[in-house]
Amino acid sequence: AAGKPVLGICVGMQALMARSEENNGVDCLGVFDGQVTFFGELQSDTGGRLKVPHMGWNQVRQGMAHPMWAGIADNTRFYFVHSYCVTGLADEEVAGRCDYGLSFAAAATRKNVFAVQFHPEKSADAGLTLLENFLRWRP
């Protein structure tokens, strides 16, 4: 896949990280230096525990201009269903953020890789636009 466009979706984004807490801790592919962290061990910005799984429509704040965001407004809602989130990414790799009691990386990018924690296939028109953008993307 070197040089070819790669799209990671949900657990596909998580698999691209260095390490995951899932299954008592596992090494991942290491494309990004991020970690996959269980929501149930995290607390919200106000100190309460987060409900697991995180499920539903949430806004994504775009962290940068990127061809994958073409035709998608900042703060558009996408559909999420997950119990783990990515932490520890470099700022320049965070393509989008979501707030669920705390801020977490909802999209990551580096060179020919773009990955999202949400499900574009379940995210109505915005999700279809993102998938169409992937088909046209030439990194």
Active site residues: 10, 119, 121
- Cα-Cα-Cα-Cα torsion 82, 123, 115, 86, nearest 10 degrees, comes to -30
Q: For residue 43, what is the DSSP state?
A: B
- Residue whose token pair is 């499920």: 55
Q: Tell me the sheet residues that pair with 29.
A: none
The residues, any chain, with a CB within 8 Å of residue 93's CB and separated by 6 or more, are 32, 34, 108, 109, 110
Q: What is the Cα gyration radius of the chain?
A: 14
Q: What is the rounded distance in angstroms from the CA atom of residue 24 to the CA atom of residue 74?
A: 36
